[in-house]
Structure 1
Amino acid sequence: MQFSVPLAIGRLVKRYKRFLADVVLDDSGEEITAHCANPGSMLGLKEPGSRVWLSLSDNPKRKLKYSWEVIEADGALVGINTAHPNKLVEEALVAGRILELKEFETLRREVKYGKNSRIDILLEKADGSKIYVEVKNVHLMREPGLAEFPDSVTARGAKHLVELGDMVAEGHRAAMVFLIQRPDCDRLSLASDIDPNYAAAFKTAKAAGVEAYAIGCDVRLDGIDAVKDVAIND
């Protein structure tokens, strides 16, 4: 995935109200408010003074012209925009980077299923078989090399796991793909201290036959790509 425009660089003043971030731009010294497309806690990724990169929209209808894309943390570039993971996983699937999910004929996004839900990606084969793929963004790292999910309580995430289990019970395949928007992790674990209910739901879903995969990203200032398999701790 390539960024459509060169990113502006600045220093983070503060992130607040979940979806807002004040940033001082390097080139002009102006303090602007950027959109932060991330509903999580962003634990470890909102330190004032951090170097950040923003995309600039030319859409005249947008109230906030800038969107926060990347932060420098723990010596690495980390993607924080949760609008990107579905596209990144789609690109990885099309490129065959997730070997266990390589065989499919068609790929559709945001397909209705379950109890008033939409699956992130639906893979289908010519024989009518389906693979329901739910994507979760990951960028929490509290221990070097170890990515963790979630970074805040997610009742919605636990609901998705139940619905994936329902799809398996109906005879389909279902998979959870954790997209890690940072290059410095080679393992992923469930943050049970942050959300024990999600960790329990994940364990139940795995026992029901839901598959789980994690893929790490190469984060650059011109784009982000999902490039490497990451082990999931039991």
Structure 2
Amino acid sequence: MGVPLPEELYAATFLDRPNRFTVRAWCLGSVVQAFLADPGRLAELLQPGTQLYLAPRVAPGRKTEFDVVLVRHGEILVAVDSRLPNKIFAQAVRAGEISEFQGYSNIRPEVKVGPSRLDFLLAGEGRVPCYVEVKSVTLVVGKEARFPDAPTTRGSRHLKELAKLRVQGFRAAVVFLIQRQDAQQFAPNEETDPLFARTLREVAGLGVEVLAYRCQVDIKEIRLSNRVEINL
């Protein structure tokens, strides 16, 4: 079972990226603007001439005509919507597809913890409540997925909140959802954000679970595939 992608997708050619959330592309015979729901750099994916798949979007006051959904990278498709991993994770937990989180029947999203909001609080009969933060990963170097691909102070703050909860006796986990199928392992991106990498190692030492899963992506859906090795 996967998360369905928009039924109406148009092939397009990437031209440039005027800002973090806007892409210009050639689509349907003209230059269009599309919303990119991923603040990462995506430098290895968004090269001039790259094929994109855009979903039309119409809403009052909206400045762009499309959303960027997929990028073709060599022989594979990469999902570049950072809103998808939370949907994928929640669906997989409900379906019992992630062995590490089986038995959690109650999935509460967007839980306020201190000054932050964590993605999920999982609860289930006879289970220790588990706080989960899900991170969207699109960068793969060789066969190694890496996060983040741009510095993230927010990401480090979330890790510290998870560590506090773990010390209080809760389960706490950070889950890296790799929105492509070619990764064989995961590592923090030390070069881009050494603080995040160091913090991830520290919280892992305190008992925060660090998990990474790759996804199968096609033109119709994105679905959880399998867990990959963590290299801290």
TM-score by length of 1: 0.94
List aligned pairs for 1:63-78, cutoff 5 A: 63-78=63-78
How far the C-alpha of 1:127 sits from its partner, in A, is 4.7
After superposition, the C-alpha distances for 1:201-228 in whole angstroms (9 at most, x for unaligned) are: 0011001100011111111111211121
Q: Taking every aligned residue pair, what percent have the same amino acid on both sides?
A: 33
How far the C-alpha of 1:128 sits from its partner, in A, is 7.3
How far the C-alpha of 1:4 sits from its partner, in A, is 3.3
- Partner SS for 1:91: helix
| Aligned equivalent of 2:59 | 59
List aligned pairs for 1:47-126, cutoff 5 A: 47-113=47-113, 115-126=114-125
How far the C-alpha of 1:129 sits from its partner, in A, is 3.2
Q: Judging changes above 3 Å, is the alpha-carbon distance between structure 1 residues 128 and 92 closer, same or farther for their aligned structure 2 residues?
A: closer
Q: Does 1:153 align with 2:151?
A: yes
| Aligned equivalent of 1:31 | 31
- Partner SS for 1:93: helix
Q: Does 1:7 align with 2:9?
A: yes
The separation in 1 between residues aligned to 2:84 and 2:96, in whole angstroms, is: 18
Do the aligned partners of 1:133 and 1:174 also contact (CA within 8 Å) in 2? yes
Give RMSD over aligned pairs.
Answer: 1.4
| Aligned equivalent of 2:167 | 169
List aligned pairs for 1:179-190, cutoff 5 A: 179-190=177-188
Task: Give the residue type in structure 2 aligned to 1:46.
Answer: L
TM-score by length of 2: 0.95
How far the C-alpha of 1:193 sits from its partner, in A, is 1.0
2:207 pairs, out of 206, 209, 212, with 209
Q: Tell me, which stretches of 5 or more residues in structure 1 are unaligned? A: none
The separation in 1 between residues aligned to 2:9 and 2:160, in whole angstroms, is: 39
Q: Tell me, which stretches of 5 or more residues in structure 2 are unaligned? A: none
The separation in 2 between residues aligned to 1:128 and 1:212, in whole angstroms, is: 19
| Aligned equivalent of 2:46 | 46
